[in-house]
Amino acid sequence: MPKAIGGWRWKRGQRLGYVALILVLAHLATLGFTGWVHPEEWTSGIPPISLIAAVIAGIPLVVKYHRVIEREKRANPGD
């Protein structure tokens, strides 16, 4: 796919996707945080859908963060 649309356009789309995920997480946290911190109020012990969605949206961000950190460690082994 990157070859078909060009490397810089591909990167731009990927970065926009990460920004969108951050905005989704901010939206979910704003709306649902109070329900997340009171598990005793969860219906039948099932977490709220906003918490589940936030975890799913956060996974790619955590993976990307760890990949960037590992890349920086390999690029600067003495630091």
Q: Which residue has the higher pLDDT, 46 or 2?
A: 46
* pLDDT score at 79: 63
Residues 6+ apart with CB under 8 A from 5: 13
Q: What CA–CA distance (Å, rounded) separates 56 from 50?
A: 10
Cα 49 to Cα 57: distance, rounded to the nearest angstrom: 12
pLDDT in tens, 31-52: 999 999 999 999 999 999 999 9
d(CA 56, CA 1): 24
- pLDDT given at position 4: 79
Residue 62 has pLDDT above 70, yes or no: yes
What is the distance between the alpha carbons of residues 79 and 73, in angstroms, rounded to a whole number? 8
Taking only the tens place, the pLDDT of each residue in 16-30 is 999 999 999 999 999
